[in-house]
Amino acid sequence: MTEEQEIMRPRGEDVASSIRGWLNDDIKNGPSTRGELGKFFFGVSSGTLGLFATLLKVAVDAPAFDSLTISCFLALFASALIGVHMTIPPVLKITDKGEMDIYKEYDKIVRSTIFFMYFWLGIWGIGFFAGIAKLFSK
């Protein structure tokens, strides 16, 4: 093996150090990622709500608050509230002994973020498809 090939081959400690650095950065940025995702979800939900409010006023002959319209608006409003909830930063409690498992806390943040992502998608989808159904119903 040449000296150049030996320099390019990563050692175990190099790989472990890189993974530790990546994990530390991911743990530091985990809560802010959830907040940014919540802002995005709020923007999509409120934008969709505004879009359907405008389309239902303009495209439908006689706008009426029937069950499809109400379910559309309620679901989109609920999805916007989920987005707002996601922007609230998580509170990490440190005991007087200074004991806190940072990996458990990180795992809880990631799991709740994934849950709220799917929950938001389901609620937003209900509102979106109820709005589409109302637009194309006669």
pLDDT tens profile 31-82: 677 888 999 999 999 999 999 988 888 876 666 778 888 999 999 999 999 9
* Percent of the chain with pLDDT strictly greater than 90: 40
Going by C-beta distance under 8 Å and a sequence separation of 6 or more, which residues neighbour residue 19? none
CA 8 centroid distance within chain: 39
pLDDT exceeds 80 at position 2: no
Tokens standing for residue 96: 């007087």
* Percent of the chain with pLDDT strictly greater than 70: 77
List for the chain the helix, strand, coil content (%; round to 5): 80, 0, 20
b/e burial code for range 89-106 (CB count within 10 A of at least 16 → b): eeeeeeeeeeeeeeeebb
Contact 86, 34 (CB under 8 A): yes
Tokens standing for residue 11: 């050692």
Residue 76: per-residue pLDDT:
96
Mean pLDDT to the nearest integer, 87-114:
78
pTM, two decimal places: 0.75
- Model confidence at 5, in pLDDT bands (50, 70, 90)? low
Higher pLDDT, 83 or 15: 83
Which residue bears the tokens 């990622």?
A: 33
Mean pLDDT of the chain: 82
Residue 62: per-residue pLDDT:
67
CA 68 to CA 79: how far, in whole Å? Answer: 16
State whether the Cα torsion 67-70-76-82 is positive or negative. Answer: negative
Residue 80: per-residue pLDDT:
96
